[in-house]
Amino acid sequence: SQQGEEDPQALSIQEGENATMNCSYKTSINNLQWYRQNSGRGLVHLILIRSNEREKHSGRLRVTLDTSKKSSSLLITASRAADTASYFCATDKGTYKYIFGTGTRLKVLA
């Protein structure tokens, strides 16, 4: 399989807590993107991180990238009920053919 792997597959937390999702991939990459997908809806782009970057922030989101371990993490701080969604990582090794991870289903309880 060429799919990336994300863990956990499902995560349930209380509002206000932090949520961490991990993504591992198999080949060297050019960039990695994180997306959110609400149930039955389209993809929402969150953050892009390039292979020469180690960390990026956007609001309550923090993404790290460890190319030596072929892994990335997405941290959502101070989670809200509206953060409930599935989160996917997608990697590009320079061909623009993105390989999506299996996704993490996050549930934030109010």
Partner 1 sequence: GAVVSQHPSRVICKSGTSVKIECRSLDFQATTMFWYRQFPKKSLMLMATSNEGSKATYEQGVEKDKFLINHASLTLSTLTVTSAHPEDSSFYICSAINSERGLNTEAFFGQGTRLTVV
88 is a contact residue toward partner 1 (CB under 8 A): yes
Instruction: Give the C-alpha separation, 1 to 76, whole Å.
Output: 28
Taking CA 31 as the corner, what is the angle to CA 72 and CA 16, rounded to the nearest 5 degrees? 40
Shortest CB 78 distance to partner 1, Å: 26
15 is a contact residue toward partner 1 (CB under 8 A): no
Which residue from 26, 53, 61, 98 is in contact with partner 1, where contact means CB under 8 A?
98
Instruction: Give the C-alpha separation, 44 to 38, whole Å.
Output: 9
Closer Cβ to partner 1, 7 or 98, answer by number: 98
Q: By CB under 8 A, what part of segment 46-75 binds partner 1?
A: 48
Instruction: Give the C-alpha separation, 86 to 84, whole Å.
Output: 7
Instruction: Give the C-alpha separation, 61 to 20, whole Å.
Output: 10
Which residue from 68, 69, 97, 110 is in contact with partner 1, where contact means CB under 8 A?
97
What tokens were used for 28?
């060297």
- Phi, psi of 79, deg, nearest 5: -60, 155
24 is a contact residue toward partner 1 (CB under 8 A): no
- Contact set with partner 1 (CB under 8 A): 3, 30-31, 33, 35, 40-45, 48, 88, 90, 92, 94, 96-103
